[in-house]
Amino acid sequence: MLQELERLEPFRAEVRAWLAANLPADWQQKMLGAEEDDHVAFQKWWFQKLMEGGYGAPHWPKEWGGSGFSFAEQIVLYEEIARAGAPRLILYFIALHHVPGTLLHWGTEEQRRRHLPAVLSGDEIWCQGFSEPNAGSDLASLRTRAEKRGDHYVVNGQKTWSSNAHHARYCLLLARTDPAASKTKGISYFILDLQTPGVTLRPIKQMTGASHFNELFLDDVVIPAENLIGPENGGWAVAQSTLSSERGLSVLELAERMRQGFKLLLADARAPKDGGRVPYEDDEIRRGLVGIYSRIEALRLLVNNQLTSVLKGEAVGVEPSIIKLYYSDLLRDFTELGVSIGGIDAQYLQAVLMGGANETGYWMQDYLYSWAWTISGGSSEIQRNIIAERGLKLPREPQAKAA
């Protein structure tokens, strides 16, 4: 992989120069404490800047308005975006990754033409309606029901943890269309217009003070049959395409951002605190810093090994689960060390930096949010099960017999 990336040094220089010319140096300071509407407006502005530069949809095919970059070019781009400390496009994550990952493989031509150009224009923000109160990690146990009635479906149920649903217009929705079928066989996949009568959103207050997630209530919601993606009762296979689309280069960007975040952690440790205390002079703090740095480098090696396999066209096994689990634990310990270094001053909870990294230097905010990573994208418990069953070939624990 190293040789492939060295060949792209001119492209790397081009990206770096574009970021230097277009990324506002003070964007984080302006967003700190800003109203949510200001965060949303900034996300939209930054997305349009990236599109103008040709970097907004690097993984999309050219025929659908993307850059059509090679996998190696995407690696370079995401590395430079992370190193520059540019905003993460959280508001558009589902639209840019899950929507094309789903529609390009399973959608109809009409669905693609209706939605894909609108995503790249910035007009359509999407959310995901997969998890339910009793079907999060065990997604196949979902209970939201869709009944076919002529040329439409009537949907009733509840979804939860829908990121940015309060800003979205459309939702990728899973619902059960055949309750008599086995868990994964009776599920269908839909496009839901969130402005449809019967849809109710309720933001979920997080311990950080933000309301990034939402509950979604569906009461006799009518979805046209033309909004079905893939075959009826075949939604489980479609969902696997959706989920696999997020397990690519995003983890590379997160690993690089963590490496940049370590610079903030080290600088904070060397800065005098109240009373003249310098945390870096404490042996325990130094041991903690060495441990975190070593784990960050190990994470980068894990990511590089996976990307090398992808570049070679080799099949990827449980590596994404290993990396996701490793990153979640590391992020929690990383930010907890930041709180310890900062002392009392680090206890103050700052406003959310929408689109920032997960290591912003506002350590209490970062630490509290780090726990979300042990759940989102597949909980740590689920990742351990995948590693055990698919990687180590361990048998499943037998179900306890009913008394």
Alpha-carbon span 169 to 162, nearest angstrom: 12
| Residue whose C-alpha is closest to residue 183's, from 142, 214, 222, 151 | 142
| SS (HEC) of 186-220 | CEEEEEEECCCCCEEEEEECCCCCCCCEEEEEEEE
As separate numbers, helices (DSSP H) first and strands (DSSP E) second, the chain gives 14, 8
SS3 state at 318: coil
SS3 state at 102: helix
How many residues are listed for the chain in this entry? 403
Active-site residue, from 124, 132, 246, 359: 246
Q: Do residues 349 and 365 touch, judged by C-beta distance below 8 A?
A: yes
Catalytic status, residue 79: no
SS3 state at 279: helix
Alpha-carbon span 177 to 403, nearest angstrom: 32
Q: Do residues 198 and 218 touch, judged by C-beta distance below 8 A?
A: yes
Give the active site residues: 246
